[in-house]
Amino acid sequence: AQSVSQHNHHVILSEAASLELGCNYSYGGTVNLFWYVQYPGQHLQLLLKYFSGDPLVKGIKGFEAEFIKSKFSFNLRKPSVQWSDTAEYFCAVHGSSNTGKLIFGQGTTLQVKP
């Protein structure tokens, strides 16, 4: 069955530290991959997405992610975090043969200390 796993449940960083959040999925076919962010008290917003082409995708607010097909991974990175990046981050996958099923990981809570 299609699934998504996020390795880090709670990450605490100081401002200017580098960030990498892990995401692995299980699905054998073509996938769309997403990272969404949820700021405290708000709804989910799209950070970035991968549909096809260049496996290194850039999103908003300096975030980027790399799709490594052989590892079934789509890790999120940011070279220097800010206090305003404090939020919950969700990885999601949509598989080609599961029409309509957009499945999310458990989420990672990022706390950035000023």
Partner 1 sequence: NAGVTQTPKFRVLKTGQSMTLLCAQDMNHEYMYWYRQDPGMGLRLIHYSVGEGTTAKGEVPDGYNVSRLKKQNFLLGLESAAPSQTSVYFCASSYAGLNTEAFFGQGTRLTVV
Smallest gap, in angstroms, from Cβ of residue 47 to partner 1? 11
| Dihedral sign (CA 57, 90, 75, 87) | positive
Pick one of 12, 16, 51, 60: the residue that binds partner 1 (CB under 8 A): 51
Contact pattern for partner 1 over residues 75 through 104, marking x by CB under 8 A? ---------------x-x-x-x--xxxxxx
User: 11-32 burial string, b = 16+ CB within 10 Å, else e?
Assistant: bebeeeeebebebbbebeeebe
CA dihedral 56, 110, 61, 106 (to 10 degrees): 50
Smallest gap, in angstroms, from Cβ of residue 16 to partner 1? 28
Interface residues with partner 1 (CB under 8 A) are 6, 9, 30, 32, 34, 36, 42-46, 49, 51-52, 90, 92, 94, 96, 99-107
